[in-house]
C-alpha cells in the first residue's frame, strides 16, 4: 500500500512539474501575455474551400499582429470547424464561448449555423464578428449586443440583383434554392424585389444541399422555358445545376448569389462557367483599400488554398477584434462595449460602421460575371461593353 501511495505522490509531482514547465516556458521566452482569439467556419464538407480561405485569412491577421513589435499581447489563434451544420456549429460555439481564455471570435460562413449559434454567444457574453453569413436575421433577428457583422446581408444583394436583371430586359425567372434558411431567405428576397421591379417568378424549386441529380427539376424547368435560372445556394450544388442544365440543353441565363462566387465554381465547370452572374457585397480585392497588402501578405505565408471571396472579410473582422483588444484589454465585456460605441473603423475592406444591431452599414454590392475563367467585375467586363452578350 505504501509503495502505491509513493507512486501516486511521484506521479503527482511529475505531472505538476510538467504542467508548470509547459505553462511557464512560453512566459519565460516571451514577456507579453497570451490572449486567445477564435475563428469558426466550415473547414470540412462541401463549402470547405470558403471556410479554409476564411480561416487562413483570419489566421493571417493574427500572424501579422504577432510580428508587430508594438502589439501589447501575443495572440493565440484557435480555428474550429462548424461543418456548415447547425448542430455541429452549436457544439463548437458552446466550446469556444465557454472557454474563458478566449476573448473574442470571428465566426460563421453559413447562415443556418450563425442563426443557431448567436444565442450561445449572447448567453456567454462572447463578442463575435460574423465574417460571411448573409442572412439578415443573424444581426437583425435579435437584439444581442455581442453580435457584429462586417459583411452585408442578402437583402442588399438581392435588391441589386433584381434591379440589374430587370433593367437588362429579363422578365421570366425560375428560382432554385437550397432548403436551408439561407436558400429560403434568398428565394424570399429575390422574389420580392423581382416582383417590385416588374419581373415574374414562374416557379421555384427547393432542393437539398447534398443533392446530386437535378435532371427531374431541370426537365420541368426546360418546359417552363424561363429567361433566367436564379440559384439561391452554395457553390457545390451550383456547379451541379449549371453542368446538368447543359446536359439537358437548357439555354437560360444562370445567375447566382454571393454563395456561388468562388474560384471553386469556375474550377468545377471550366468553360461552362462563362457568363454566369453573381452578386456580392464589397469590392474586388484589387479595388479594396487594403487589397494589395492583403494579397501580398497572403501569398507570403504560402497558403495552398485561395482566400476566396470572403477571406478579406475574415481578415478585417479579426483585425478589428485584435485592435479592440489592444485598446481595451483582453476582457470580453470591455470589447463588447467598445464595439457597440459609435465609431468608424478603417479596414482592408473599407470603412466599417456598425448600426445598433451590430450590422456594418457600409455595404456596397458588386456585380460579377465569369469571363474567360475569371470572376470579372461587371463594369470592367466585355459583357458590359457590349463585346459579348448574356444569354437571350
Partner 1 sequence: MDISLLAQFTVNGLMLGMMYALVAVGFTLFFGVLDIIVFSHGDVVMVGAFAALTGHYWLTGIYPDMSMWVELFFISCISIITVAAFGMIMAKTMILRLRSASPLNTLLATMMLGTVLREAVRLFFPGGSNPKPFPVLLPDISASFGDFTLRFDSVILFVLGALLIVSLHLLITKTKLGMAIRAVAQDEETARLMGVNFTLIVLITFAIGSAVAAFAGVMNGLYYNEINFGMGLLLGAIGFSAAIIGGLGNIYGAILGGFLFAGLQTLGAVAMPFASAYKDVFAFGVVILIMAWKPTGLIAEKTSERV
Is residue 22 exposed (0-12), middle (13-18) or buried (19+ Cβ within 10 Å)? exposed
Residues sharing a CB contact under 8 Å with residue 217, sequence separation 6 or more, in sequence order: 176, 205, 207
Query: Under rule CB under 8 A, which residues in 14-43 are in contact with partner 1?
Result: none
Closer to partner 1 by Cβ: residue 43 or 369: 43
Q: Which stretch binds partner 1 (CB under 8 A): 45-53, 74-82, 253-261, 357-365?
A: 45-53
Pick the closest to residue 130 from 342, 328, 352 (CA basis): 352
- Please, which of residues 145-184 interact with partner 1 by CB under 8 A? 179
Whose Cβ is closer to partner 1: residue 249's or residue 386's? 249
**Under the criterion CB under 8 A, does residue 212 sit at the interface with partner 1?**
yes
Measured CA distances, 154 to 16, 300, 333, 365 (Å): 53, 33, 30, 10
45 binds partner 1 (CB under 8 A): yes
Contact between 48 and partner 1 by CB under 8 A: the answer reads: yes
Which range in 91-99, 263-271, 316-324, 352-360 contacts partner 1 by CB under 8 A?
Answer: 263-271
Binding of partner 1 by 52 (CB under 8 A) = yes
Q: What count of other Cβ atoms lies within 10 Å of the Cβ of residue 270?
A: 10
**Whose CA is closest to 220, among 165, 277, 175?**
175
Residue from 87, 88, 89, 127 nearest 108 by CA:
89
Decide if residue 215 touches partner 1 (CB under 8 A): yes
Q: How far is the CB of 21 from partner 1 (least distance, A)?
A: 33
Q: How far is the CB of 307 from partner 1 (least distance, A)?
A: 14
DSSP structural state of residue 304? S
76 binds partner 1 per the rule CB under 8 A: no
Burial class (CB in 10 A: 0-12, 13-18, 19+), 211: middle
Contact between 329 and partner 1 per CB under 8 A? no
Nearer to partner 1, 146 or 308 (CB): 308
200 in contact with partner 1 (CB under 8 A): no
CB neighbours (10 Å) of residue 208? 12
Decide: is 302 part of the binding site for partner 1 (CB under 8 A): no
Tell me the C-alpha distance between 6 and 20, whole Å.
21
State in angstroms the smallest separation of the CB of 265 from partner 1.
8
Q: Show the cell assigned to 238.
A: 451550383
Give whichever of 46 and 350 is closer to partner 1, judged by the CB atom: 46
Q: Would you count residue 191 as binding partner 1 (CB under 8 A)?
A: no
Q: How many residues bind partner 1 (CB under 8 A)?
A: 37
Which of 200, 267, 274, 323 touches partner 1 by CB under 8 A? 267
Q: Would you count residue 49 as binding partner 1 (CB under 8 A)?
A: yes
Per-position x/- string for 231-260, each x denoting binding to partner 1 as judged by CB under 8 A, each - no binding: ----xx--xx--xx--xxx-----------
87: contact with partner 1 by CB under 8 A: no
Q: Which grid coordinates belong to 391? A: 444569354
Q: Which string of DSSP letters, residue by residue, matches 34-71?
A: EEEEEEEE--SSTTHHHHHHHHHHHHHHHHHHHH-TT-
- When binding is defined by CB under 8 A, the residue of 305, 323, 346, 388 that contacts partner 1 is 305
Determine if 207 is a binding residue for partner 1 (CB under 8 A): yes
No. of H helices and E strands in the chain?
A: 14, 14
Exposure b/e, 105-138, CB count within 10 A at least 16 = b: bbbbbbbbbbbbbbebbbebebbbbbbbbbbbeb
What is the closest distance, in whole angstroms, from the C-beta atom of residue 322 to partner 1 in the complex?
A: 27
Q: Which residues bind partner 1 (CB under 8 A)?
A: 44-46, 48-49, 52, 179, 205-208, 210-213, 215-217, 219-220, 222-223, 235-236, 239-240, 243-244, 247-249, 264, 267-270, 305
Amino acid at each position: 500500500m505504501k509503495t502505491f501511495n509513493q507512486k501516486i505522490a511521484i506521479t503527482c509531482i511529475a505531472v505538476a512539474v510538467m504542467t508548470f514547465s509547459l505553462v511557464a516556458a512560453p512566459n519565460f521566452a516571451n514577456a507579453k501575455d497570451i490572449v486567445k482569439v477564435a475563428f469558426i467556419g466550415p473547414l470540412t464538407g462541401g463549402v470547405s474551400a470558403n471556410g479554409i480561405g476564411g480561416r487562413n485569412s483570419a489566421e493571417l491577421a493574427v500572424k501579422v499582429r504577432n510580428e508587430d513589435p508594438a502589439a501589447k499581447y501575443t495572440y493565440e489563434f484557435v480555428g474550429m470547424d462548424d461543418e456548415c451544420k447547425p448542430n455541429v456549429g452549436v457544439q463548437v460555439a458552446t466550446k469556444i464561448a465557454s472557454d474563458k481564455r478566449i476573448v473574442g471570435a470571428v465566426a460563421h460562413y453559413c447562415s443556418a449555423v450563425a442563426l443557431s449559434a448567436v444565442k450561445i454567444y449572447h448567453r456567454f457574453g462572447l463578442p463575435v464578428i460574423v465574417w460571411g453569413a448573409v442572412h439578415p436575421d443573424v444581426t437583425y433577428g435579435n437584439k444581442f449586443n455581442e453580435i457584429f457583422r462586417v459583411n452585408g446581408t442578402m437583402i442588399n444583394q438581392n435588391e441589386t440583383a433584381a434591379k440589374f436583371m430587370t433593367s437588362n430586359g429579363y422578365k421570366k425567372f425560375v428560382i432554385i434554392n437550397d432548403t436551408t434558411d439561407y436558400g429560403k431567405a434568398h428565394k424570399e428576397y429575390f422574389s420580392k424585389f423581382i416582383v417590385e421591379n416588374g419581373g415574374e417568378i414562374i416557379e421555384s424549386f427547393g432542393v437539398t444541399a447534398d443533392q446530386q441529380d437535378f435532371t427531374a427539376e431541370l426537365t420541368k424547368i426546360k418546359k417552363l422555358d424561363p429567361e433566367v435560372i436564379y440559384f439561391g445556394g452554395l457553390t457545390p450544388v451550383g456547379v451541379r445545376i449549371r453542368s446538368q442544365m447543359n446536359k439537358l440543353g437548357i439555354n437560360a441565363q444562370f445567375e447566382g448569389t454571393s454563395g456561388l462566387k468562388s474560384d471553386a465554381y469556375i474550377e468545377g465547370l471550366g468553360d461552362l462557367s462563362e457568363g454566369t452572374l453573381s452578386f456580392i457585397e464589397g469590392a474586388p480585392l484589387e479595388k479594396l483599400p487594403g487589397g494589395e497588402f492583403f494579397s501580398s501578405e497572403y501569398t507570403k505565408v504560402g497558403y495552398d488554398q485561395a482566400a476566396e471571396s470572403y477571406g478579406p472579410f475574415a481578415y478585417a473582422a479579426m483585425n478589428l477584434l485584435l485592435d479592440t483588444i489592444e485598446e481595451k484589454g483582453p476582457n470580453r465585456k470591455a470589447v463588447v462595449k467598445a464595439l457597440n460605441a459609435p465609431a468608424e473603423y478603417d479596414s482592408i475592406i473599407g470603412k466599417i460602421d456598425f448600426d445598433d444591431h451590430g450590422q456594418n452599414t457600409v455595404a456596397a454590392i458588386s456585380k460579377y460575371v465569369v469571363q474567360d475563367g475569371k470572376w470579372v467585375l461587371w463594369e470592367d467586363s466585355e459583357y458590359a461593353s457590349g463585346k459579348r452578350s448574356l444569354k437571350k
